[in-house]
Amino acid sequence: MAMAAIGLHQQLLCCPGSRALSSYRPCLRSQKSRLVLVASSSSPPSPSSETSAQTAESCVNLGLSLFSKGRVKDALMQFENALSLNPKPIEAQAALYNKACCHAYRGEGRKAAECLRTALRDYNLKFGTILNDPDLASFRALPEFKELQEEARLGGEDIGYGFRRDLKLISEVQAPFRGVRRFFYVALTAAAGISMFFTVPRLLRAIKGGDDAPDIWETAGNAAINIGGIIVLVALFIWDNRKEEEQIAQISRDETLSRLPVRLSTNRIVELVQLRDTARPVILAGNKETVSRAIEKAERFRTELLKRGVLLIPVIWGDYRRTSVEKKGFGLPSKAAASVPSIGFVCRPIFLIDRLSGTGICR
């Protein structure tokens, strides 16, 4: 759940592997103190006093503690209670995010998407957190995640502009002169428009004729140049915008694919993003015969592939069968997708088939 525990000196969302046990301790100590007070008091405390002692922070921490014990339904109730106790923005973000993780665990993709959409829009949740969290792996395989990602890529009032802003920054790094080109497109279009503003009256005077009328052919030529320049510059500006949108869509797909888990030939499970700067993943997609033949041909180059850090990922389209998993999310399934035998530095895909479709990686 990325364990978004709220501590006094703690980050909002911890790393996926950490459970932030220290954040539970204040809650446990407070429970012990209440037990002592009950033992020494002649009358038990009223339910209203216990309810009034609850805070959004304590509800979130208690929900995390309950979830770590497998009590997902009770944890979900605590996160909902936290949202009803006038939480601070950081507390509301944590409650919504962990509530979404609970819904993902229960297979409620639509409710999880709504919680994440609210956290993205109102509480500045980073979309990269959703991409990185292994506890949301099942949610990322649902159509609701694809819709959410598309909304975040386009940006808007319903979901915010945080993810799109991050994508645009990456796009600017890959195409550093796009902003300069746009500046010149706008500046030259404005100059042509101003020139056209003065050329139109001269053209009308040239058409009417007279002793002091300008030459009609020269004036018409200037007007044609201005109009042609405006058309060309506007077309270039629109073309550049379309290229940027295509690039942002490609970056979004790459960011999603980079979180795909794969199993190495050593049975170690890693995400593709962890292989950056250490290996060169190559996806071999096709039917079983085609992939097996490609692996056999690559066998003689195994030493060279190992030396260059090439990682072969076989993906068999034809023999893939969806395996039903009762519990969704929070870890990887026990059964991986079928794949051909590895020949050394080869990895096997997990959750790869569904999410490669429609990404354009094997066109």
Q: Is residue 342 part of a domain?
A: yes
User: For position 270, what pLDDT does the model report?
Assistant: 78
Number of domains forming the structure of the chain = 3
Burial class (CB in 10 A: 0-12, 13-18, 19+), 141: middle
Residues 77, 207 within the same domain:
no
8-state DSSP, 214: P
Least confident of 53-62, 154-163, 180-189: 154-163
Residues 225, 315 within the same domain:
no
Residues 30, 134 within the same domain:
yes
Residues 314, 282 within the same domain:
yes
Distance between CA 96 and CA 105 in Å, rounded? 14
> What is the maximal distance between C-alpha atoms in the chain?
113
Residues 196, 297 within the same domain:
no
Radius of gyration of the chain (CA): 30
Residues 56, 139 within the same domain:
yes
Q: Which amino acid type is present at position 99?
A: K
Check residues 17 and 69 and name the one with the higher pLDDT: 69
CB 362 within 8 A of CB 323: no
CB 98 within 8 A of CB 6: no
Domain range for 346 is: 261-356
Residue in this structure with the two tokens 């096997």, named with its chain if needed: 348
Q: Is residue 94 part of a domain?
A: yes
State the CATH number of the domain containing residue 26: 1.25.40
Q: What are phi and psi of 16, to 5 degrees?
A: -60, -30
Residues 79, 127 within the same domain:
yes
Q: What is the mean pLDDT of residues 56-80?
A: 90
Residues 310, 202 within the same domain:
no
Q: Is residue 221 part of a domain?
A: yes
Q: Is residue 184 part of a domain?
A: yes
Q: Is residue 216 part of a domain?
A: yes
- Outline where the chain has alpha helix (H): 25-40, 47-53, 56-68, 72-83, 89-105, 109-122, 127-132, 137-140, 143-154, 162-174, 178-208, 216-257, 288-299, 302-308, 352-356
CB within 8 Å of 39: residues ≥ 6 apart:
none
Q: Please say which residue of 112, 132, 160 terminates a domain.
A: 160
Per residue in 279-294, pLDDT (tens digit) is 888 888 888 888 888 8
Q: Please say which residue of 200, 220, 251 terminates a domain.
A: 251
Residues 189, 295 within the same domain:
no
| Cβ count within 10 A of residue 163 | 26
Q: Please say which residue of 126, 160, 194 terminates a domain.
A: 160
Residues 49, 134 within the same domain:
yes
Q: Residue 149's Cα: distance from chain center in Å?
A: 6
Q: Is residue 167 part of a domain?
A: no
Residues 190, 103 within the same domain:
no
Q: Which amino acid type is present at position 221?
A: G
Q: Is residue 16 part of a domain?
A: no
User: For position 302, what pLDDT does the model report?
Assistant: 85
Residues 44, 154 within the same domain:
yes
CB 263 within 8 A of CB 347: yes
Q: What is the mean pLDDT of residues 27-50?
A: 38
Question: Considering the chain, what is the average pLDDT of its residues?
Answer: 74
User: For position 233, what pLDDT does the model report?
Assistant: 95
User: For position 309, what pLDDT does the model report?
Assistant: 84
Q: Is residue 5 part of a domain?
A: no
User: For position 361, what pLDDT does the model report?
Assistant: 39
Percent of the chain predicted with pLDDT > 70: 72
Is the pTM higher than 0.75? The answer reads no
Bridge partners (DSSP) listed for residue 160: 156
User: For position 329, what pLDDT does the model report?
Assistant: 39
Complete DSSP assignment for 273-312: GGGTTT-EEEEEEE-HHHHHHHHHHHHTTHHHHHHHTEEE
Quick one: which of 116, 105, 118 has its CA closest to 144? 116
Q: What pLDDT band is residue 1 in, cutting at 50, 70 and 90?
A: low
